Amino acid sequence: MSPEKAQAYWKENISTIIKLLIIWFIVSFGCGILFINELNTIEISGVKLGFWFAQQGAIYVFVILIFVYVAKMTAIDEKYGVHE
């Protein structure tokens, strides 16, 4: 792989990681701590949304982020010819 192509690969790789980490931070810290009072005004099946995000929702989002990361990295690897 040429140095330019390798640099573009890592730039796209790091960009993907940063975007997913931002989502992770917003969901875990934002929804679980910062915005909990606003989210608690919404109830789903008798459970306040802020509480649900702090206890269950963040875990679901984390698992979804893992699958998104795998899909994005597979596409990036294939794009740059470094897939297995």
Query: What does pLDDT average to over the chain?
Result: 89
CA-CA distance, 14 to 49, in Å (whole number)?
32
Q: What is the pLDDT at residue 17?
A: 96
* pLDDT band at residue 56 under the 50/70/90 scheme: confident
Full-prediction pTM beyond 0.85?
no
| Tokens read off for 79 | 């794009």
- Where do the structural domains in the chain lie, given as residue ranges? 3-79
Contact 49, 42 (CB under 8 A): yes
Checking if the pLDDT of 53 tops 80, the result is: no
* pLDDT band at residue 18 under the 50/70/90 scheme: very high
Q: How far is CA 4 from CA 16, 22, 61, in A?
A: 18, 27, 34
Checking if the pLDDT of 28 tops 80, the result is: yes
